[in-house]
């Protein structure tokens, strides 16, 4: 099992509660599978929960537009935040990143081994797909009703478009540069505040890990309320790409990639690719700002030449890192 976990880039020892680990159930085949895939399962289900609430609430608000009694459940923006919060509780054992750009920043600034990134990323991507499929399955007859016929599926700016349930589409009059800036700054804030919330050395006011999920609720809600209107605030590759892919597969047509002047895709006509690129850069920049101005712990920023010396001696650096990790029994 250690071998399988190591080959997935995971820590050889799975994070299993001591008492449970001694119950002898590890002899069962499936228990071993679950222990081996502990962190990917956690990310997978955490993202599913996030997408179920996020896409589900957009679906409900959109599909009930114009009804006399409206849909139960407010305007749906806070529900993305709620989904993230509950997803964090579900994905407790993996770090609960739920966003590959945040995993990425943790590799870059917080010593999360890079070799874990691919496994986490794939788990997150699959979670986004499964979550949006369930939402589609749930609302299929209501989508038929709203779009005006069985199997009709359209993309904004079509008047009865329902593709917005799955992925983000920008406001038409906002320039590409503003769209990019909006995604970038939203992702920057996201990473900056998460690092602040996770920084136990940022004292002054006692922090409590118990409050982290609740504060993420407020943070995501606030980002949506302040920087969410221009682009629909993806700020997360798997939140946008996975449901977009699913919506493509479900028959919404090629417009899911090209709508909004190739908002998503990097095309020759208009090389934007905003929700695909901006979250990574924003999260990197947000982590950079926090570490430059506030963080006092271990970080490349707090090492000579801000860690960039590693770029000139990559092999040496990698060897050094692996040795350090071996000492910590991380390999």
Task: Map the footprint of a copy of itself across residues 20-59, applying CB under 8 A.
Answer: 20-21, 23, 25, 28, 30-31, 34-35, 41-42, 44-45, 49, 52-53, 56-57, 59
Residue 16 contacts a copy of itself per CB under 8 A: yes
Query: Which residue in the set 94, 99, 124, 272 belongs to the binding site for a copy of itself (CB under 8 A)?
Result: 94
Q: Which of residues 247-286 bind a copy of itself (CB under 8 A)?
A: none
Q: Which stretch, 2-10, 13-21, 235-243, 314-322, contacts a copy of itself (CB under 8 A)?
A: 13-21
Closer residue to a copy of itself (CB): 138 or 154: 138
The number of residues that bind a copy of itself (CB under 8 A) is 112
Residue 226 contacts a copy of itself per CB under 8 A: yes
Residue 308 contacts a copy of itself per CB under 8 A: no
Query: Which residue in the set 4, 110, 115, 207 belongs to the binding site for a copy of itself (CB under 8 A)?
Result: 207
Query: Which residue in the set 7, 141, 160, 267 belongs to the binding site for a copy of itself (CB under 8 A)?
Result: 141
Q: Which stretch, 4-12, 210-218, 234-242, 269-277, contacts a copy of itself (CB under 8 A)?
A: 210-218
φ, ψ for residue 321 (rounded to 5)?
A: -65, -45
Q: Which stretch, 218-226, 239-247, 248-256, 261-269, contacts a copy of itself (CB under 8 A)?
A: 218-226
Nearest residue to 287 via CA among 181, 208, 190, 214 = 190
Compute the distance between CA of residue 57 and CA of residue 119 in angstroms, rounded to an integer. 29
Query: Which residue in the set 107, 215, 277, 322 belongs to the binding site for a copy of itself (CB under 8 A)?
Result: 215
Smallest distance, a copy of itself to C-beta of residue 257, A: 22
Smallest distance, a copy of itself to C-beta of residue 165, A: 11
Closer residue to a copy of itself (CB): 226 or 318: 226
Smallest distance, a copy of itself to C-beta of residue 317, A: 18
Query: Which residue in the set 83, 100, 286, 300 belongs to the binding site for a copy of itself (CB under 8 A)?
Result: 83
Compute the distance between CA of residue 88 and CA of residue 82 in angstroms, rounded to an integer. 10
Residue 91 contacts a copy of itself per CB under 8 A: yes
The neighbour count for residue 117, using CB atoms within 10 Å, is 16
Query: Which residue in the set 7, 75, 267, 316 belongs to the binding site for a copy of itself (CB under 8 A)?
Result: 75
Smallest distance, a copy of itself to C-beta of residue 218, A: 5
Q: CB neighbours of 278 closer than 8 A, spacing ≥ 6? A: 180, 183, 184, 187, 234
Smallest distance, a copy of itself to C-beta of residue 280, A: 19
Residue 184 buriedness (CB in 10 A; 0-12 / 13-18 / 19+): buried
Q: What residues pair up with 266 in beta bridges, in sequence order?
A: 271
Compute the distance between CA of residue 291 and CA of residue 226 in angstroms, rounded to an integer. 24
Query: Which residue in the set 1, 214, 266, 308 belongs to the binding site for a copy of itself (CB under 8 A)?
Result: 214
């Amino acid at each position: 099992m250690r071998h399988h976990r190591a080959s997935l880039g995971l820590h050889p020892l799975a994070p299993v509660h001591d008492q449970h680990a001694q119950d002898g159930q590890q002899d069962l085949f499936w228990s071993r599978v679950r222990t081996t895939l502990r962190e990917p399962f956690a990310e997978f289900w955490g993202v599913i929960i996030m997408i179920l609430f996020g896409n589900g609430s957009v679906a409900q608000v959109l599909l009930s537009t114009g009804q006399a009694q409206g849909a139960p459940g407010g305007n749906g923006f806070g529900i993305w935040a709620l989904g993230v919060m509950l997803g964090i509780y579900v994905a407790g054992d993996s770090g609960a990143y739920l966003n590959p750009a945040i995993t990425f920043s943790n590799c870059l600034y917080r010593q999360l081994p890079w070799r874990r990134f691919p496994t986490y990323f794939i788990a997150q991507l699959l979670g986004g797909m499964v979550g949006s499929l369930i939402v589609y399955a749930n609302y299929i007859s209501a989508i038929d009703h709203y779009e005006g016929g069985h199997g009709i599926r359209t993309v904004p700016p079509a008047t009865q478009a329902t593709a917005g349930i799955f992925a983000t589409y920008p406001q038409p009059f906002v320039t590409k540069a503003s769209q990019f800036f909006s995604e970038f700054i939203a992702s920057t804030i996201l990473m900056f505040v998460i690092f602040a919330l996770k920084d136990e050395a940022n004292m002054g006011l006692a922090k409590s890990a118990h409050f982290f999920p609740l504060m993420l609720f407020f943070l995501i809600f606030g980002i949506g309320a302040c920087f969410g209107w221009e682009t629909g605030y993806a700020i997360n590759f798997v939140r946008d790409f996975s449901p977009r892919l699913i919506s493509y597969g479900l028959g919404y047509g090629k417009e899911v990639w090209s709508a909004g002047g190739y908002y998503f895709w990097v095309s020759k006509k208009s090389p934007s690719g905003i929700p695909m690129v901006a979250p990574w850069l924003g999260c990197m920049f947000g982590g950079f700002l926090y570490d430059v101005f506030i963080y006092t712990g271990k970080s490349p920023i707090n090492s000579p030449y801000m860690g960039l010396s590693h770029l000139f001696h990559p092999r040496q650096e990698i060897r050094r890192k692996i040795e350090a990790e071996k000492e910590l029994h991380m390999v």
